[in-house]
A and B are shown apart, each in its own frame.
Chain A
Amino acid sequence: MFYREAGDFSKTYREDSQTFPIRFDRYRYYAVLLIAFAIIPFFLNDYWVNAIFLPFLIYSIAAIGLNILTGYCGQVSLGTGGFMAVGAYATYKLMTSFPEVSMVVHILLAGGITAFVGVLFGLPSLRIKGFYLAVATLAAQFFLVWLFNRVPWFYNNSASGQINSPERTLLGVPITGANTEPWAVYLFCLVFVALSAVIARNLTRGAMGRKWMAIRDMDIAAEIIGVNPLTAKLSAFAISSFFVGVSGALFFSVYLGAVEVGEVFGINKSFLVLFMIIIGGLGSIFGSFAGAAFLVLLPVLLKNVLVTGLGWPTDIAAHLEFMIVGGLIIVFLIMEPHGIAQLWRIAKEKLRLWPFPH
């Protein structure tokens, strides 16, 4: 009825293998882009940007990154927080050392540096598998946080040990520092998110993505059919860390502005991003967005309903959030291991036939 593909013929292979082969899907996608780029910026205020849109956009990039590594290549990582810290500190050092260079360049470079660090910590993945590897990535998490906490060079010897992002402009509009406009930071992050999603989607359905998935499904079998585990695993670590690094860079420079590494990029951040992709859907780009949106919105919702609405103390709302998130992880792992993305797929299948299911 609303969602059909009758009369929707693809005449070339190119048309047939596009991301949204169904016309309705394609238009919906364009509509979402249009709303996100051209309509939302006019209705933004500080609260909406800082409480919802910026965290959602930035976590989406991190979730896409982790999804490439965990969802597509099957290597569980608990070091996301540490890698985000690498991105953040790399941008900080670049911003303060080369003030005249554009922020876009800095953020991309920070991603590149994180990719390098990611490959370094990904090397053991060639020998270690499964949760041995998951625990090994904790080494990255703890070591990196310690490094940024203890070596003064990384925070330019500032007395507080914090890093603060100085004001930088892009095309004359400030995007970091204290004098930013909500629409400017929103659009700046949105561009990165949109590009990340397109790049990730195309990487994962190409030859490289198929190699990752072969490794994920069974690495020995993949090796036998000619996938080189060295390049496949390390490329997954590199690309995943690149996205995570970009998100860490944005998180620090655009969103928070000031960062104390142990608090912001601690192990809880690693778990948060992992939860996003479990709830959203392992091995799905849409799932990364869905999971990020869910876990960003949940605390805001709980706070508004329980604290503002019912007048409960904030600590109860915080405890309840822990319980709900933990419970949901278990429920999703038991009932729907592919997360919200799978629910969405099922809903689409149903909608295609609705209202005549036979």
Chain B
Amino acid sequence: MPDQLVYAMEVFLNGLMAGVLYALVALGFVLIYKASGIFNYAQGVMALFAAMTLVGVMEGQVPFSHLINAVLGTKVHHFGWHLPALIGIVSTVVIMVVLAWLVQRIIFKHLVGQEPIILFMATIGLAYFMEGFGDMMWGSEIKKLDVGLPQGINLWIDETTYNIFDYGFFIDNLDIFATIIAAILVGGLVIFSQYTKEGRAMRAVADDHQAALSVGVSLNFIWIMVWSVAGFVALVAGIMWGTKSGVQFSLSLIALKALPVLMLGGFTSIPGAIVGGLIIGVGEKLFEFTVGPLIGGATENWFAYVLALLVLVFRPQGLFGEKIIERV
């Protein structure tokens, strides 16, 4: 087999796994969008905030220590404990649920019935606020997140592929693990929205707010629930990306990666988010591999957007979205 093809296969596999992670972030968007018509730009910042909170809780950092020290002149930094990952994750989930409740209560309760674009801009505001708030609470330095996930090259794949192709594929254990987790989570969310009572209520709300309200579905509860689930998805995404490259500001940019995934797959479709994520993940890696060196590299920044833009010109609702019907 020619070398280039083997390399391309490795790139393809890596792209597939990146795609699953994109799909995971995109799912958070789809959930909120389906249930409340809000396109949540803050999803990426939520992932950052969740990861920061997890590190902060596990390391026993004192929240707002910078601010307290600046105002009171004290020198507090840590409570002096180190919690195991599980307790950290559970308490972070609790914090994300509280956050979901606050967001719903303080912001979106007052914006019900506004145009989608106003809601979108409100979430941009929320993203900015949470970015500042997270930094204020936990400090803005790069943090190391370690919840005990396996890392490093997967030797088994390396050896097997070496025996077959004379070239060992470099595939990170963490990526494999993340892919499995993401796949489980995606499957779980699909089952949740199809087969549970709350999931059915959520789909009813997505279909028609008023009709759902009239058969006794509590809109408020559903909205808080989807924001909480989105917060949980953000936490998982935050753990994966945070373990990979440290908890830092660039983590919030994964939201920007998920946007073209959504446009490609359609905002309202869970399978769309998955397929879109895979297409973008594989597409951008292969494009960078084949065309990238010819035109200067780092094409990953824009390839996804341009691809999504081209698809949208031909299918404005995305690949799997519901047909947009407009009436005067």
Verify A320–B132 contact, CB threshold 8 A: yes
Task: Considering the complex, give the chain A residue whose CB is closest to the CB of B45.
Answer: A326
Q: Which one of B114, B116, B140, B301 contacts A130 once the chains associate, using CB atoms below 8 Å?
A: B116
Task: Considering the complex, give the chain A residue whose CB is closest to the CB of B259.
Answer: A135
* Shortest Cβ gap from B62 to chain A (Å): 15
B146 CB within 8 Å of chain A: no
Q: Dominant SS at the A interface? A: helix
B1 CB within 8 Å of chain A: no
* Bound Cα distance A333, B131 (Å): 19
Verify A138–B306 contact, CB threshold 8 A: no
Fill in one digit per residue for B306-328: 1 if any A CB lies within 8 Å of its CB, else 0.
10110011001000000010111
Fill in one digit per residue for B194-208: 1 if any A CB lies within 8 Å of its CB, else 0.
000000000000000
Q: Dominant SS at the B interface? A: helix
A345 CB within 8 Å of chain B: no
Fill in one digit per residue for B141-175: 1 if any A CB lies within 8 Å of its CB, else 0.
00000000000000000000000000000000000
Chain A residues, Cβ within 8 Å of B140: 315, 319
* Bound Cα distance A334, B122 (Å): 9
Chain B residues, Cβ within 8 Å of A76: 117, 120-121
* Shortest Cβ gap from A124 to chain B (Å): 5
B80 CB within 8 Å of chain A: no
Verify A142–B302 contact, CB threshold 8 A: yes
Verify A327–B302 contact, CB threshold 8 A: no
**Interface with B: A35-43, A143-151, A232-240, which one?**
A143-151
Verify B125–A124 contact, CB threshold 8 A: no
Verify A124–B328 contact, CB threshold 8 A: no
**Size of A's binding interface in residues, CB under 8 A:** 51
* Bound Cα distance A321, B71 (Å): 17
Q: Which one of B66, B122, B312 contacts A127 once the chains associate, using CB atoms below 8 Å?
A: B312
Chain A residues, Cβ within 8 Å of B326: 220
* Shortest Cβ gap from A186 to chain B (Å): 30
Q: Which of B114, B129, B256, B262 gathers most chain A CB within 10 Å?
A: B129
Verify B136–A323 contact, CB threshold 8 A: yes
* Bound Cα distance A101, B132 (Å): 45
B59 CB within 8 Å of chain A: no
* Bound Cα distance A128, B321 (Å): 13
Chain B residues, Cβ within 8 Å of A310: 70
Chain B residues engaging chain A, CB cutoff 8 angstroms? 39, 66-67, 70-71, 107, 110-111, 114, 116-118, 120-122, 124-133, 135-136, 140, 256, 259-260, 262-263, 267, 295-299, 301-302, 305-306, 308-309, 312-313, 316, 324, 326-328
> Told that A139-B302, A139-B309, A333-B111 touch, could you supply 8 new A-B pairs with CB distance under 8 A?
A124-B312, A132-B263, A224-B328, A271-B128, A274-B124, A316-B70, A323-B136, A325-B128
